[in-house]
Amino acid sequence: MTATSPTQAPSTAETVINNIKGTEEPEVADKGAETETETDADEFEDNGIIDHTTFDQLLEMDDEEDHEFSRSLVWNYFEQAEKTFVDMDDAMEKLDFPDLSRLGHFLKGSSAALGLTKVKESCEKLQHYGNRKDAAGVESITNDEAETLIRALLVQMRREYNEAESYLKVFYDGQE
Amino acid sequence: MLCSLIRKMCTTSTTSLLQDTSSLQKTTSTYFNKAINNMTASPILSTISPPSSPAMSIESDFEDHDETTTTQPRKIKVMIIDDNSVNLTILSRLLNKHFADTIQLTSVQNSGLAALDQLTKDEVDLILMDIDMPVLSGVETTTAIRNNDSHSEHSILEQNLNVPIIAVTTSDAEEQRELYRQVGMADCVSKPIAIPKLRMAIEEAMKTVSTNG
């Protein structure tokens, strides 16, 4: 993902730590400059990143204590999400609103299935904005309004995804 | 019936039969002949103990019961359809983990077209279908099934034309649910899937099948 990508987001670890501390996060940062964080996965719970009812149901489907099934599923989700973000960037450059809506819906499904609440909610907004509707999917909005809202939303969604990704990686690292 | 069978095998027709109700299932009973000590054990036990025994199969409903017995209801053959691989994996696993006693996952399809093609070849008892899919949506796929339009040169198997179809989707607003009903879907289960709700939807859908014959 390029530095000018609309879905570029601050460093994952820095953002998460700053959110927990309540400090302002940097507007632009290189995603590649991630640093090791010792933040425990439990510290993320109050941020509403994960719906534990859904995620725990997923963990219950694991056979062994190594959580191999859910781990492989989550990593599959990571790949899917990264590809979808690239597709969203492409669709945004073309202002292809129907495609943005479709992509939002697509990622919403798997995000919801894993209990990634914030990502799912942002995906739902993207679905609506792409259909030239407001966040609730009720009132119509103009193309210009949709474009403005989607550009901001893609940055937000990327940030929320990075938080979720960090949480899950910390969780599974702790299971080893 | 089992008692009659046992009595026929007993040397005395007045032998009392004891019912062992300590088995796993509430409906499961194991009947032991009180006079068993007076008889050779193996002929009786060979009749009543193995899970595949016809005598046992009539009354029993053990968890580890052999599926091939004539009285054990066969498992529901299920097809699942979703264009998202993560969702497909989760639903497959969920069915295998939580519904293994009643469901046999026989078909996993990632598109409406692939599902239609499969329905021209194999019979299923139940379809769990995503709604928002490219090319053919879940609504369009359902309509095609009901209208025997396989989008190919082959016809959908007659047994599949009225198969119960449950929508599994995040698009679960009331007006959407009404649309699903109108095109012939039996129910709608929201994502993320709550197992009790899925179970209830499946049970209701299958009741409709048995009611309609």
ipTM of the predicted structure? 0.73
Q: How many CB atoms sit inside 10 A of residue A124's CB?
A: 20
Q: Please give the average per-residue pLDDT across B47-75, as a whole number.
A: 47
**Whether pLDDT at B17 is above 50:** no
Which pLDDT score, from 0 to 100, does residue B200 have?
95
Measure the CA–CA gap between A67 and A175, rounded to whole angstroms: 8
> Could you give the dihedral angle defined by the CA atoms of residues A36, A37, A42 and A44, in that order, rounded to the nearest 10 degrees?
-100
> Per-residue confidence at A38, pLDDT binned at 50, 70, 90?
very low
Asked whether B32 and B20 are in contact (CB, 8 A), the reply is yes
Which pLDDT score, from 0 to 100, does residue B212 have?
58
**Whether pLDDT at B210 is above 70:** no
Structure tokens at B133: 């899919």
Measure the CA–CA gap between A124 and B8, rounded to whole angstroms: 69
Strands B30-33 and B17-20 come out as antiparallel
Distance from the Cα of A74 to chain B's closest Cα (Å) equals 8
Distance from the Cα of B196 to chain A's closest Cα (Å) equals 12
CB contact under 8 A, B170 and A124: yes
Query: Is the preceding omega at residue B192 within 30 degrees of 0, hence cis?
Result: yes
Strands B76-81 and B165-169 come out as unpaired
Q: How many CB atoms sit inside 10 A of residue A159's CB?
A: 22
- Identify which of B84, B132, B193 has the shortest CB distance to residue A110: B84
Of the segments A13-22, A59-68, A98-107, B39-48, which one has the largest average pLDDT value?
A98-107
What would the DSSP string read from start to end of B114-127?
A: HHHHHHTT---SEE
Q: Please give the average per-residue pLDDT across A54-75, as a whole number.
A: 90
Q: Enumerate residues 6+ apart whose C-beta is below 8 A from B33.
A: B6, B10, B15, B17, B39, B44
Measure the CA–CA gap between A129 and A120, rounded to whole angstroms: 14
CB contact under 8 A, B192 and A57: yes
Which pLDDT score, from 0 to 100, does residue A124 have?
95
Asked whether A84 and A161 are in contact (CB, 8 A), the reply is no
> Per-residue confidence at A41, pLDDT binned at 50, 70, 90?
low
Residue A115 φ/ψ region, left for φ over 0, alpha for ψ in the -120 to 50 degree band, beta for the rest? left
Which pLDDT score, from 0 to 100, does residue B51 have?
38
Distance from the Cα of A3 to chain B's closest Cα (Å) equals 29
> Per-residue confidence at B161, pLDDT binned at 50, 70, 90?
very high
What percent of chain B shows pLDDT beyond 70? 64
Which pLDDT score, from 0 to 100, does residue A106 have?
94
Per-residue pLDDT reduced to its tens digit, B85-139? 999 999 999 999 999 999 999 999 999 999 999 999 999 999 999 999 989 999 9
Measure the CA–CA gap between B75 and B185, rounded to whole angstroms: 21
Q: Which residue has the higher pLDDT, A22 or B80?
A: B80
By CA distance, what is A137's nearest residue in B? B173
Which residues does chain B have within 8 Å of residue A60's beta carbon, measured at their own beta carbons? Answer: 97
Q: Please give the average per-residue pLDDT across B76-85, as a whole number.
A: 96
**Whether pLDDT at B15 is above 90:** no
Q: Please give the average per-residue pLDDT across B38-50, as a whole number.
A: 40
Which pLDDT score, from 0 to 100, does residue B24 have?
40
- Identify which of A102, A106, A113 has the shortest CB distance to residue B191: A113
Would you call B193 an interface residue with chain A, using a CB distance cutoff of 8 Å? yes
Residue B137 DSSP SS3: coil
Which pLDDT score, from 0 to 100, does residue A42 have?
54
